Amino acid sequence: MAGSLNKVQLIGRLGADPEIKQMVNGKSVARLSIATSQSWKDKASGERKEKTEWHRVVIFNEGLVNVVQQYVKKGANVYIEGQLSTRKWKDEATGQDKYSTEILLQGYNSSLTMLDSRSGNNGNSNLVSEDKSSLPKDNLNQDSSDLDDEIPF
């Protein structure tokens, strides 16, 4: 269909350490659970309210899987870009059709950016991976104060 777009952008925190698995074809896949929250003040009571949404993220891009495996941990603040995908399967116990909607990071339209140093990247919050097979090793141990305004790679 011409004129359609399937793109998701999220900023949130990981609720658990990433799950890395091997597929049958030998490639790795990463699964993340990302929480996004919104808060507001209830007009009737004046009380502060908050709602958290959980998002399943599946990463097939090998470069991004490597970054996630090495640097991203529970509690990490991340920005992701991907696309929505709904899977269908049969529940073995009940025989009913089940559905799961996930955000896929694969191909050239996906990216992952670590937004803070909590993810174990030695204070370098400027590590960005957009479908790169690996990050330059010489930039991983730099202190963030050593970086110019330009992306270091």
| CATH at 89 | 2.40.50.140
Domain count, the chain: 1
- Is residue 12 left, alpha or beta, with left meaning phi > 0 and alpha meaning psi from -120 to 50? beta
What's the pLDDT band for 2 if we cut at 50, 70, 90? confident
In this structure, the number of other CB atoms found within 10 A of the CB of residue 74 comes to 13
What is the sign, positive or negative, of the torsion defined by CA atoms of 98, 85, 40, 37?
positive
What's the pLDDT band for 21 if we cut at 50, 70, 90? very high
What is the sign, positive or negative, of the torsion defined by CA atoms of 132, 134, 139, 144?
positive
Specify if 148 maps to a domain: no
Q: What's the rounded mean pLDDT across residues 56-67?
A: 93
Specify if 18 maps to a domain: yes
Under 8 Å between Cβ of 105 and 61: yes
Under 8 Å between Cβ of 69 and 30: yes
Specify if 145 maps to a domain: no
Specify if 150 maps to a domain: no
What's the pLDDT at 107? Answer: 84
The domain of 119 spans: 8-38+48-132
Specify if 139 maps to a domain: no
| CA pair distance 102, 86, nearest whole angstrom | 6
Average pLDDT, the chain: 80
Q: Which tokens belong to 88?
A: 């269908």
Q: What's the rounded mean pLDDT across residues 108-137?
A: 55
Specify if 140 maps to a domain: no
Stronger pLDDT, 111 or 150, i.e. the higher one: 111
Examine the pLDDT at 63 and tell me if it is beyond 70.
yes
Question: Is the pTM of the predicted complex or chain greater than 0.85?
Answer: no
Specify if 142 maps to a domain: no
Stronger pLDDT, 147 or 97, i.e. the higher one: 97
What's the pLDDT at 1? Answer: 61
Specify if 146 maps to a domain: no
pLDDT one-digit tens code per residue, 68-120: 999 999 999 999 999 999 999 899 999 999 999 999 999 888 999 999 864 44
